[in-house]
Amino acid sequence: MVWRHTLNNIKIKNNNTKIKNNNTKMKNLKITIKCLLIFTCFFFGNSQETDNNLAPKFITSGSVDTYYRSSTSAPNSSFAQYPGFSMGMANIIISYEGEKSGFVADFVYGPRGYDAVFNSPQDETGAASANIINQLYIYYNINDSFTLTLGNFNTFLGYEVISPVANFNYSTSYMFSYGPFSHAGIKADFVLSDDISLLLAIMNDTDYTETQPLNPLTGDMNDYTFGAQLGLFGQYLNFISGDGYSHIDFTGGFDISDSFFLGVNATSFNGDNNSGSFSGVALYPQLALSDNFTIGARYEAFSETDGGVGAIDGDAISSKQDLDNTSFTITGSYTSGNFIFKPEFRVDSASEPVYPDGLLKYSDNIASFVVAAIYSF
């Protein structure tokens, strides 16, 4: 099973080996705050009244998914790793859309949901309710072009997401699995034109949804994470910089024809002082063969450098830490109303024998077959 404690381990390692340059971090914080204030003043000054005819409403949505895996072992990416018949998660989303404001409460139950909120709870008193909260945020529409959001929200980095409904492939990539899942903080979304958007954010450390962790050497709070996204004609350049790391990501897609779509994701994570880095690229071609059936694939090339982040070799089998992995996944997706049926075949090949292949045996490749059923509402 993949545990996304990688980023947290890197941060602890950094804290034990160096003293942060607080002047640089404070400079970055001031720049980010100034940007938020400038855009806030601009959009407040140009705000217009929204349509008063829009009636406030509650919306309930979500999904349930379950699967069967034929192999006893699985790649070290997130979710759907148990052999035999297993559960994904039950996801219930309650939202309220008011005239200018609203909220989203996103609850998850089951193994997939548990992995998604792996870093909760942090409260030593045992606030177990945090184990089921995937997102919890409030937003305010200042005008049609400017929205402020405060709370815990899923990341804006990457092509794939937590919900199996929004992903074409049922299994997930290494880039998704070792990137951020969620952020807690404040973000500002700007619609600059029909084809250009901007996001600016100040957040806790990645996946710390309840609190900002403390530096074990000083007892002070860690520096906040800064995030930004630039959207251009449906393509997105994403960036976050946190305590001991920076992460840049490109997510996009192209409609090659009415029936053929090509998704693209490229990412680069860099830990400070050679504390572990990774990078990767993935292609997501999808071909619609009918109104109900689409076949798609995912090709991913993923590499760990600077000591690695424990992604490919999660059980520390190899003496090498800088590893490469390529994976090819082919997925069929049949839909009937709210029901989705996904058979999937995946092959992974690593630069070292790290995948279990029998008792105390390991191989540099692994093949797996999964059948998933998803119902959305």
Write out pLDDT tens, residues 94-105: 999 998 999 999
pLDDT of residue 120: 74
How far is 223 from 261, CA to CA, in rounded Å? 40
Which residues, given as ranges, of the chain have pLDDT below 50?
Answer: 1-22, 42-43, 45-51
pLDDT of residue 361: 84
Q: Is residue 281 part of a domain?
A: yes
How far is 321 from 312, CA to CA, in rounded Å? 9
Q: How many CB atoms lie within 10 A of CB 337?
A: 8
Q: How many domains does the chain divide into?
A: 1
CATH code for the domain of 235: 2.40.160.10
Q: Is residue 122 part of a domain?
A: yes
Q: Is residue 126 part of a domain?
A: yes
How far is 132 from 120, CA to CA, in rounded Å? 9
Q: Is residue 1 part of a domain?
A: no
| Separation in Å, CA 275 to CA 151, 179, 242, 288, 299 | 30, 16, 14, 43, 27
Residues 305-334 pLDDT 10s? 988 888 888 766 666 778 999 999 999 999
Q: Is residue 137 part of a domain?
A: yes
pLDDT of residue 310: 84
Q: Is residue 41 part of a domain?
A: yes
Give the domain range for residue 48: 6-376
User: Does the N-terminal peptide bond of residue 356 adopt cis geometry, omega within 30 degrees of 0?
Assistant: no
Q: Is residue 45 part of a domain?
A: yes
From the list 241, 242, 237, 253, the residue with the least C-alpha distance to 157 is: 237
Question: H helices within the chain, ranges in order?
Answer: 6-17, 22-45, 111-116, 174-178
pLDDT of residue 214: 83
pLDDT of residue 338: 97
Which DSSP category does 274 fall into?
A: G
Q: Is residue 154 part of a domain?
A: yes
